[in-house]
Amino acid sequence: MSQASVLKFPDFVLRRISKPVQHIGRSERHLIELLIKTMEHQPGGIGIAAPQIGVLRRIAIVDVSPKAADARRLILINPEIVKMEEETVNREGCMSLPDYTANVRRAARILVRWDNYDMKRCEYEAKGLEARCIQHEVDHLNGMLFVDRVASLKRDVFRRKRYL
């Protein structure tokens, strides 16, 4: 299986709300594999959400282990952020907006709940980069992009340098 192509802003699919997953079967497992492959294909990729490859289902992958040694891969099915604490501003990027980064305000600590493969609810307290990444991916499931959350498009959005 190779990776999928990633939809880029301003593709309207990125603006739609994804549908909840009722059960995990063959096609859902395939979608999860494809998301992981697509995320890993991107240098520095630490998260991806199904709508980014054109599938409007509430599934996202977060794996900050390249940047935080104690982290593990989270396969978030129907994720929901149930608690948010403390605000921080940090630089963020997105595979769907590859030419930009931005300063985005997010909760520093969150409690996230999601379904596992058996559709049992799990919960986990995340902080720092991992908490930021989870919030970013849940936004994708709700049709939101990080540029929607900046205080000022002029001051807080930056064009990436291009390296040849």
Specify the stretch interacting with Ni ion by CB under 5 A; choose among 6-14, 30-38, 88-96, 106-114.
88-96
Shortest reach from residue 95's CB to Ni ion, in Å: 6
Residue among 14 and 71 whose Cβ is closer to Ni ion: 14
Residue among 20 and 98 whose Cβ is closer to Ni ion: 98
Shortest reach from residue 23's CB to Ni ion, in Å: 26
| Marked catalytic residue, from 28, 92, 130, 137 | 137
Shortest reach from residue 108's CB to Ni ion, in Å: 19
Residue among 26 and 52 whose Cβ is closer to Ni ion: 52
β-partners of residue 100 are 159
Q: Answer yes or no: 137 catalytic.
A: yes
Please state the three-class secondary structure of the chain as a single string.
CCCCCCCCCCCHHHHCCCECCCCCCHHHHHHHHHHHHHHHHCCCCCEEEHHHHCCCECEEEECCCCCCCCCCCEEEEEEEEEEEEEEEEEEECCCCCCCEEEEEEEEEEEEEEEECCCCCEEEEEEEHHHHHHHHHHHHHHCCCCHHHHCCCHHHHEEECCCCC
Q: Which residue's Cβ lies closest to Ni ion?
A: 94
Binding test (CB under 5 A) with Ni ion, winner from 55, 62, 94, 150:
94
Q: What is the set of active-site residues?
A: 137
What is the contact surface with Ni ion in residues (CB under 5 A)? 94
